[in-house]
């Protein structure tokens, strides 16, 4: 079946569909990971985005039930050069195409993904539509222009769970951590479990008083999709908890913390999406290979440097990747320490969170 990917600037890419049929809208971004397509598709941070994989062959080790980061895929669509029809792995239980169809997710293959990536790098990430139903390029371009995009849109409400739940209970529990769920990845919860922390996951709209009633030792602000300025309720909750709990922010949680501390955020030209982004720890001088997925960034110059210490910088574009409050037990990173593509480069940050909670218990 034919499929078209149309961008709001008029650029159109033709290919063949795999997975479900239909029409989906989202901001088209490129991801430079060679593996991890299953984790990427199920990362709630990709809500509202159509993902183009730069590696040419995707799906070669199939799909298994263990490597998911949430209860379902959240991406709007997948763009690849070639989708593998016969995966080879002892863990594989189905093909990527079958998985997409099962979850009503659109895929398009046969696209010149190098050309698409270069175009996004030059023109920036933009609104797009992926369709197997409407194959008229002009109509699709207009539909892309009329779609909602990401700026100012609250996508967190579409991915957060609406109930409080406890993740698996660790043996010999050390600390109780409330995770504010803006679209939390399972691996964040797994890392807390490894560190003998009882994770209690609460919906993104949970207020500060309700969080304090749970009597946690610390608060983790999770990753999530979209524009951080659109989730004012999360920012306000965070602001009320500053100085009352140790806080660790990851990805969107880092941006929320930056806004709660009086900083500003801005939209990156084409974002950071992939498993090979070099980040420098300014304290140790070490460079870590990190996983990233974000289209917005905290403005370094907007922060009060009398209170906030810059801890990490992106070596590709010098954008902010980590910060720490000089007096309060608060720190955050823009990258994903739970993914650790190094492979364990950034896992130490969870141990840092444990130390902070123990110090301020």
CATH of the domain at 9: 3.50.30.20
Report the CATH number at residue 284.
3.40.50.880
Q: Within this chain, do residues 257 and 324 fall inside the same structural domain, yes or no?
A: yes
Report the distance separating Cα 116 and Cα 279, nearest Å. 26
- Rounded CA-CA distance 290/5 in Å is 29
195/125 same-domain check: no
Q: Could you read off the pLDDT of 101-135 as tens digits, one per residue?
A: 999 999 999 999 999 999 999 999 999 999 999 99
Dist. CA 19–CA 188, nearest whole Å: 29
Residue corresponding to tokens 């500003």? 264
Give the count of domains, the chain. 2
Residue 79 lies in a domain: yes
- Rounded to the nearest integer, the mean pLDDT of the chain is 96
Give the pLDDT of residue 171: 82
Residues 237 and 314 in one domain: yes
| 151 found inside a domain | no
Claim to verify: residue 136 and residue 13 sit in the same structural domain: yes
Domain boundary at 112, 146, 180, which?
A: 146
Same domain, residue pair 191 and 281: yes
Residues 205 and 110 in one domain: no
What are phi and psi for residue 320, nearest 5 degrees?
-70, 130
Q: Is residue 20 part of a domain?
A: yes
Residue 65 CB-density burial (10 A; 0-12 exposed, 13-18 middle, 19+ buried): exposed
What pLDDT score does 173 carry? 77
The CB density around residue 226, as the number of other CB atoms within 10 Å, is 29
- CA atoms of 234 and 221, how far apart (whole Å): 9
**Helix boundaries (H) for the chain:** 37-41, 96-102, 113-123, 137-146, 186-194, 208-213, 232-241, 252-260, 348-359
Residues 187 and 165 in one domain: yes
Whole-number Å distance between alpha carbons of 33 and 157 = 27
- Tokens representing residue 316 in the block: 């590709």
Phi, psi at 272, each rounded to 5°: -120, 115
Residue 9 lies inside a defined structural domain of this protein: yes
Tokens of 293: 């997925």
The reply to whether 175 and 263 lie within a common domain is: yes
Determine if residue 259 is left, alpha or beta; phi over 0 gives left, psi from -120 to 50 gives alpha, anything else beta.
Answer: alpha
Return the residue matching tokens 């709209």: 205
Q: Judge if 99 and 171 occupy the same domain.
A: no
Closest by CA position to 58, among listed 77, 72, 43: 77
Which residue, 101, 123, 146, sits at the end of a domain?
A: 146
| Whether residue 230 sits in one domain with residue 108 | no
Q: Could you give the 3-state DSSP secondary structure of residue 237? A: helix
Task: Point out the residues of the chain with pLDDT beneath 50.
Answer: none
Tokens 């965070």 map to which residue?
A: 238
**Residues 198, 344: one domain?**
yes
Which residues are tagged catalytic?
Answer: 251, 336, 338
Domain that residue 107 falls in? 2-146
Residue finishing a domain among 86, 121, 146 = 146
Q: Please give the pLDDT value at position 342.
A: 67
| 331 is a domain residue | yes
Position 245 in a domain? yes
- Do 100 and 179 have their domain in common? no
pTM for the whole thing?
A: 0.96
Residue 67 in tokens: 């490597």
């Amino acid at each position: 079946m034919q499929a078209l990917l149309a961008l709001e600037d008029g650029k159109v890419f033709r290919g063949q569909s795999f997975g479900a049929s239909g029409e989906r809208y989202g901001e088209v971004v490129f991801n430079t990971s060679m593996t991890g397509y299953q984790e990427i598709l199920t990362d709630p941070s990709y809500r509202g985005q159509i993902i183009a994989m730069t590696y040419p062959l995707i799906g070669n080790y199939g799909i298994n039930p263990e490597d998911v980061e949430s209860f379902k895929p959240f991406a709007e669509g997948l763009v690849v050069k070639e989708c593998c029809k016969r995966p080879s792995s002892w863990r594989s239980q189905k093909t990527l195409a079958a998985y997409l169809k099962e979850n009503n997710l659109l895929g398009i293959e046969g696209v010149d993904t190098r050309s698409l990536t270069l175009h996004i790098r030059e023109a920036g990430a933009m609104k797009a539509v992926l369709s197997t139903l409407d194959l008229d390029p002009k109509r699709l371009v207009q539909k892309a222009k009329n779609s909602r995009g990401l700026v100012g849109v609250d996508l967190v409400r579409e991915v957060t769970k609406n109930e409080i739940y406890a993740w698996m209970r660790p043996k010999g529990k050390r600390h109780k951590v409330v995770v504010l769920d803006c679209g939390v990845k399972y691996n964040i919860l797994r890392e807390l479990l490894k560190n003998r922390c009882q994770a209690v996951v609460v919906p993104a709209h949970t207020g500060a008083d309700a969080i304090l009633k749970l009597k946690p030792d610390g608060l983790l602000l999770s990753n999530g999709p979209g524009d951080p300025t659109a989730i004012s309720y999360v920012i306000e909750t965070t602001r009320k908890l500053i100085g009352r709990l140790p806080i660790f922010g990851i990805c969107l949680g880092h941006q929320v913390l930056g806004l709660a501390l009086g900083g500003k955020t801005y939209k990156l030209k084409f974002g950071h999406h992939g498993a090979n982004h070099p980040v420098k720890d300014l304290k140790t001088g070490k460079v870590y290979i990190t996983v990233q997925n974000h289209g917005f960034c905290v403005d370094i110059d907007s922060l009060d440097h009398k209170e906030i210490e810059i801890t990490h910088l992106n070596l590709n574009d010098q954008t902010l990747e980590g910060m720490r409050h000089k007096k309060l037990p608060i720190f955050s990173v823009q990258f994903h320490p739970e993914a650790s593509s190094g492979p364990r480069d950034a896992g130490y940050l969870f141990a840092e969170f444990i130390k902070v909670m123990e110090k301020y218990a």
